[in-house]
Amino acid sequence: MISEHFEGKFEVELKYRLKSKSQFLTILKSMTHEVMLQDNLESDCYFDTAEQHLLSENKSLCIREMEPSGIKLWIVKGPEADRCEATNITDANKAKSMLKTMGYHIVLAMKKTRSIYFVGKFHITVDNLDGVGDFAEFAIMTDDDSLLDGYRSELIILANKFGLGSTDIEHRSYRKIYSESLKI
């Protein structure tokens, strides 16, 4: 069941800034849902070249470590907005070393606290970026890009059930939000 939620090379994802995380979770508890994990600490290391080639091509490369779940992922996003692929890895330090050998270096390291829930075929993550705020991501992955628009509409309807609308949407990536918060 869990792996089905994260299979595919395309991801429709809508991110919302939460005004009240507790209110959001109260609404979630009133719905049929499954818990994948709660309050995991995610450490994300974003890699790029010194010239930021990946960023200039609207791509990102991330090694993610999650505790206490022990999940470790290699994640590549872009260049299209809905393009996202991730694979489990067993040795994050070895993966980081390999990337450094290939000429990449860490351009941003960030941490967030994440809980993941399943509501039907969709997954919802509830995230806290320390010092930045609380967010909810409504998402689904697929290999069929012809389903993306339909899924996007279904996700908007689901988010509306939580009282979230177009004024709550956050279009920036966590990488961009976190980077901008460091400049303030």
- 3-class state of residue 26 by DSSP: helix
Question: Phi and psi dihedrals of 30, rounded to 5?
Answer: -80, -10
Q: Is 46 considered catalytic here? A: yes
Catalytic entry in 46, 117, 174, 178: 46
Cβ atoms 122, 141 nearer than 8 A: no
Closest CA to 139 of 111, 159, 163, 115: 159
Strand 60-67 relative to strand 133-142, pairing: unpaired
At residue 178's C-alpha, the angle toward residues 174 and 181, to 5°, is 145
Instruction: List % helix, strand, coil for the chain (3-state, nearest 5).
Output: 30, 40, 25
Determine the residue type at 155.
Answer: L
Residue 169 token pair? 């949407």
Question: Active-site residue numbers?
Answer: 46
